[in-house]
């Protein structure tokens, strides 16, 4: 598995974790689950930022993807940025370049 694909999958996982956190926070179902999800998302987001930064220094990701990742959009921004990169790569391969 390539570095790009691994971080792409991790970004989607972090997005799902963030969505679960928001759901529990709004729903108010379990303070314990909210705390666990909050800490998991916080640590996971820091790791995601580091992985995208490392990828940007190696020209795997653009610096724009890093900016989207560290922005308040967090995993939403990183997932959108990475998916846009994947779309561009597919179009480039299909065009023969």
pTM: 0.92
Residue 6 has pLDDT above 80, yes or no: yes
> What ranges do the domains of the chain cover?
3-94
The single residue listed with the structure tokens 């020209």 is 59
pLDDT digits (tens, 9 = 90+) for 8-59: 999 999 999 999 999 999 999 999 999 999 999 999 999 999 999 999 999 9
What pLDDT was estimated at residue 95? Answer: 84
C-alpha–C-alpha distance, residues 93 and 63, integer Å = 22
Q: Report the interhelical angle of 75-94 vs 31-57 (nearest 10°).
A: 40
The CA-atom distances, in angstroms, between 36 and each of 14, 49, 55, 70 are: 14, 20, 28, 21
pLDDT digits (tens, 9 = 90+) for 77-91: 999 999 999 999 999
Token couple for 62: 């653009």
């Amino acid at each position: 598995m390539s570095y790009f694909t691994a971080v792409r999958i991790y970004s989607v996982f972090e997005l799902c974790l963030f969505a679960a956190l928001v759901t529990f926070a709004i729903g108010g179902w379990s303070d314990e689950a909210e705390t666990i999800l909050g800490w998991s998302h916080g640590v996971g987001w820091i790791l995601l930022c580091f992985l995208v930064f490392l990828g940007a220094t190696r020209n795997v990701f653009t610096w724009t993807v890093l900016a989207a990742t560290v922005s308040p959009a967090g995993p939403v921004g990183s997932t959108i940025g990475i998916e846009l990169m994947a779309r561009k790569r597919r179009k480039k391969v299909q065009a023969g370049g």
